[in-house]
Amino acid sequence: MVIKDTGVSIDTNSGSLSASETIATTPKKVWAMLVAHHQISEWWGNYVSIEPHVGGNFEELWTDKNGNLTRAVGKVTEITSPYILKFTWKESKWDYETKVHIRLREMGKNTLVEVTHNGWPEEMTDQMRSDVSRLYYGWRSFLRKLKEHASDNRP
Protein backbone atom coordinates (compact mmCIF):
# COMPACT_ATOMS: atom_id res chain seq x y z
CA MET A 1 0.00 0.00 0.00
CA VAL A 2 1.28 3.46 -0.91
CA ILE A 3 -0.13 6.52 0.84
CA LYS A 4 0.64 10.07 -0.19
CA ASP A 5 -0.62 12.90 1.97
CA THR A 6 0.43 16.49 2.42
CA GLY A 7 4.14 16.26 3.16
CA VAL A 8 4.10 12.50 3.82
CA SER A 9 4.74 9.48 1.63
CA ILE A 10 4.55 5.90 2.85
CA ASP A 11 5.08 2.58 1.13
CA THR A 12 4.15 -0.23 3.50
CA ASN A 13 5.37 -2.85 1.01
CA SER A 14 8.98 -1.63 0.96
CA GLY A 15 8.96 -0.05 4.41
CA SER A 16 9.82 3.44 3.28
CA LEU A 17 8.40 6.48 4.99
CA SER A 18 9.11 10.11 4.09
CA ALA A 19 7.62 13.18 5.71
CA SER A 20 8.35 16.89 5.37
CA GLU A 21 7.16 20.18 6.76
CA THR A 22 8.14 23.80 6.17
CA ILE A 23 8.77 25.68 9.40
CA ALA A 24 8.92 29.47 9.62
CA THR A 25 12.31 29.83 11.29
CA THR A 26 16.00 29.23 10.62
CA PRO A 27 17.70 25.81 10.47
CA LYS A 28 19.74 26.80 13.53
CA LYS A 29 16.59 27.30 15.62
CA VAL A 30 14.97 24.09 14.36
CA TRP A 31 18.23 22.26 15.10
CA ALA A 32 18.14 23.43 18.71
CA MET A 33 14.57 22.13 18.99
CA LEU A 34 15.77 18.72 17.76
CA VAL A 35 18.89 18.22 19.87
CA ALA A 36 18.71 20.37 23.02
CA HIS A 37 17.06 18.38 25.83
CA HIS A 38 15.22 21.38 27.31
CA GLN A 39 13.81 22.14 23.84
CA ILE A 40 12.86 18.51 23.09
CA SER A 41 11.00 18.21 26.39
CA GLU A 42 8.90 21.30 25.54
CA TRP A 43 7.45 19.92 22.32
CA TRP A 44 8.18 16.17 22.10
CA GLY A 45 8.07 15.39 25.81
CA ASN A 46 10.27 14.38 28.75
CA TYR A 47 10.15 10.81 27.50
CA VAL A 48 12.51 11.50 24.57
CA SER A 49 16.26 11.93 24.80
CA ILE A 50 19.05 12.21 22.30
CA GLU A 51 22.78 12.65 22.81
CA PRO A 52 23.77 14.86 19.85
CA HIS A 53 27.06 13.25 18.85
CA VAL A 54 28.04 10.24 16.76
CA GLY A 55 27.56 7.19 18.94
CA GLY A 56 25.17 9.08 21.23
CA ASN A 57 22.03 7.36 22.48
CA PHE A 58 18.48 7.99 21.32
CA GLU A 59 15.45 6.87 23.35
CA GLU A 60 11.70 7.42 23.16
CA LEU A 61 9.11 5.94 25.52
CA TRP A 62 5.36 5.88 24.88
CA THR A 63 2.24 3.93 25.74
CA ASP A 64 0.80 1.99 22.80
CA LYS A 65 -2.90 1.71 21.94
CA ASN A 66 -3.20 -1.35 24.24
CA GLY A 67 -1.75 0.52 27.22
CA ASN A 68 1.67 -1.16 27.05
CA LEU A 69 4.83 0.85 27.66
CA THR A 70 6.88 0.78 24.45
CA ARG A 71 10.47 1.86 23.95
CA ALA A 72 12.51 2.77 20.90
CA VAL A 73 16.28 3.05 21.22
CA GLY A 74 19.04 3.86 18.82
CA LYS A 75 22.44 5.37 18.22
CA VAL A 76 23.30 8.58 16.42
CA THR A 77 25.16 7.56 13.25
CA GLU A 78 25.73 10.96 11.65
CA ILE A 79 25.37 14.54 12.76
CA THR A 80 26.17 17.71 10.84
CA SER A 81 24.91 20.76 12.72
CA PRO A 82 22.51 22.32 11.81
CA TYR A 83 21.46 20.22 8.83
CA ILE A 84 21.68 16.43 9.26
CA LEU A 85 20.77 14.06 12.07
CA LYS A 86 20.78 10.31 11.47
CA PHE A 87 20.11 7.61 14.03
CA THR A 88 19.03 4.02 14.29
CA TRP A 89 15.59 3.09 15.63
CA LYS A 90 14.77 -0.23 17.27
CA GLU A 91 11.55 -0.83 19.14
CA SER A 92 11.49 -3.17 22.13
CA LYS A 93 9.44 -5.82 20.32
CA TRP A 94 11.61 -5.82 17.17
CA ASP A 95 14.57 -8.09 16.41
CA TYR A 96 15.90 -5.64 13.79
CA GLU A 97 16.70 -1.93 13.68
CA THR A 98 15.68 0.73 11.19
CA LYS A 99 17.17 4.08 10.19
CA VAL A 100 15.92 7.62 10.62
CA HIS A 101 17.36 10.53 8.65
CA ILE A 102 16.32 14.09 9.50
CA ARG A 103 17.53 16.77 7.11
CA LEU A 104 17.04 20.53 7.42
CA ARG A 105 17.12 22.72 4.31
CA GLU A 106 17.23 26.48 4.40
CA MET A 107 14.47 27.95 2.24
CA GLY A 108 14.81 31.72 2.53
CA LYS A 109 13.42 32.61 5.97
CA ASN A 110 12.00 29.11 6.41
CA THR A 111 13.37 25.63 7.01
CA LEU A 112 12.21 22.51 5.22
CA VAL A 113 12.39 19.57 7.64
CA GLU A 114 12.58 16.21 5.85
CA VAL A 115 12.30 12.91 7.72
CA THR A 116 13.02 9.55 6.10
CA HIS A 117 12.48 6.36 8.07
CA ASN A 118 13.50 3.13 6.35
CA GLY A 119 15.64 0.02 6.68
CA TRP A 120 13.00 -2.59 7.45
CA PRO A 121 13.90 -6.16 6.47
CA GLU A 122 13.28 -7.02 2.80
CA GLU A 123 10.76 -9.69 3.76
CA MET A 124 8.02 -7.48 5.20
CA THR A 125 5.56 -9.23 7.51
CA ASP A 126 2.03 -7.98 8.14
CA GLN A 127 3.19 -6.74 11.55
CA MET A 128 6.05 -4.77 9.96
CA ARG A 129 3.64 -3.19 7.47
CA SER A 130 1.40 -2.28 10.39
CA ASP A 131 4.38 -0.73 12.21
CA VAL A 132 5.29 1.35 9.13
CA SER A 133 1.71 2.53 8.93
CA ARG A 134 1.69 3.41 12.66
CA LEU A 135 4.95 5.34 12.28
CA TYR A 136 3.38 7.29 9.42
CA TYR A 137 1.04 8.87 11.98
CA GLY A 138 3.90 9.25 14.47
CA TRP A 139 6.07 11.26 12.07
CA ARG A 140 3.09 13.41 11.03
CA SER A 141 2.54 14.21 14.71
CA PHE A 142 6.29 14.83 15.22
CA LEU A 143 6.37 17.43 12.43
CA ARG A 144 3.12 19.09 13.52
CA LYS A 145 4.36 19.47 17.11
CA LEU A 146 7.74 20.78 15.92
CA LYS A 147 6.04 23.35 13.69
CA GLU A 148 3.68 24.44 16.48
CA HIS A 149 6.56 24.79 18.92
CA ALA A 150 8.56 26.88 16.44
CA SER A 151 5.51 29.09 15.86
CA ASP A 152 5.01 29.56 19.61
CA ASN A 153 8.66 30.54 20.08
CA ARG A 154 9.21 33.05 17.30
CA PRO A 155 11.17 36.13 18.41
Q: pLDDT category, 49, cuts 50, 70, 90?
A: very high
pTM over 0.95: no
Among the listed ranges 4-8, 39-43, 143-147, which one has the minimum average pLDDT value?
4-8
Beta strands in the chain (DSSP E): 2-5, 8-11, 16-23, 48-50, 57-63, 69-80, 84-91, 98-107, 110-118
pLDDT for 10 equals 63
pLDDT band at 75 (very low <50, low <70, confident <90, very high): very high
Q: What dotted CATH number matches 2-152?
A: 3.30.530.20
Distance CA 89, CA 57 (A): 10
How confident is the model over 131-155, as pLDDT tens digits?
888 888 888 889 999 999 998 765 5
Highest average pLDDT, of 33-37, 74-78, 131-135, 149-153, comes from 74-78
What integer pLDDT is reported at residue 82 of this predicted model?
95
